[in-house]
Amino acid sequence: MTQEAEGQDVTENVEANNNKLVIRLVVICLGMFGFAYALVPLYEVFCEVTGLNGRMDLTAGGRVRVEDVAELDNITIDTSRTITVEFVADAAPGLNWRLEPETTRVTVHPGEMKLVNFYAENLSGKDIVARAVPSISPGHGAGYFKKTQCFCFDEMSLAAGQKEEMPVVFHLTEDFPKDIRTVTLAYKAFDITDKVKVIEPANDVSDSGETGDTVAQVAW
């Protein structure tokens, strides 16, 4: 075999190996994208099944119902007990945000209302809609941790470079487990921009002469 033929074979082998490498990298990237896209439902299902970190039920245990707010004034504060509440917040991979609490811990008495601010900043160059998923540790304290105001109740929408202060108002119930002296409230924020559907208003005009407003809905 001539030198020219040998060189051609080597070139073809290199090109073939490069093509295989490119295909593998594309498959890996697609797999990583799919996994990141599924992080929110996977996280929710995993926490629901295992009870890990006491994921809060915002339809009942974690969120105070509107009809119960009037009863908050009647809560008795147990000053004989002091609980340390720690705060952790961060963004999931793929979400270029900074999410952090103004303080990492506070002390409260069971029944005492407390306000803590969190701060979010969109570090990317595009508008993003995110959802924060809360969890409580230890898990058996989740049902006694009540929030009356929280950014996790709704989607968070930040324009490119926008910063936002987000208050959380909470209290621990009077029957908060006595074996817990420190409880951690953690938030993990996920990018759900691709799941948000914008419904355009109808072209018809109402009797008042105004058109309908644009509505954003989240498709889960």
User: CATH number for the domain including 152?
Assistant: 2.60.370.10
Mean pLDDT score, 68-93: 83
Note down the domain range covering 109.
Answer: 53-198
Q: What value does the mean pLDDT of the chain take?
A: 76
* pLDDT given for residue 15 in this prediction: 65
On the question of pLDDT at 76 being above 50, the answer is yes
As a whole number of Å, the end-to-end CA separation of the chain is 63
Q: Would the pTM count as exceeding 0.75?
A: no
- The answer to whether 125 and 176 have CB atoms below 8 angstroms apart is no
Mean pLDDT score, 109-133: 96
Cα distance between residue 131 and residue 156, in whole Å: 6
- Domain assignment of residue 57, yes or no: yes
Task: Calculate what percentage of the chain has a pLDDT beyond 90.
Answer: 53
pLDDT in tens, 37-73: 444 454 444 444 333 444 444 443 344 444 444 455 5
Same domain, 12 and 87: no
- Domain assignment of residue 113, yes or no: yes
Same domain, 23 and 112: no
Q: How does residue 179 score in pLDDT terms, banded at 50, 70 and 90?
A: very high
Q: How does residue 195 score in pLDDT terms, banded at 50, 70 and 90?
A: confident
Of 15-19, 63-67, 101-105, the one with minimum mean pLDDT is: 63-67
Same domain, 191 and 95: yes
Same domain, 4 and 113: no
- The answer to whether 131 and 155 have CB atoms below 8 angstroms apart is yes
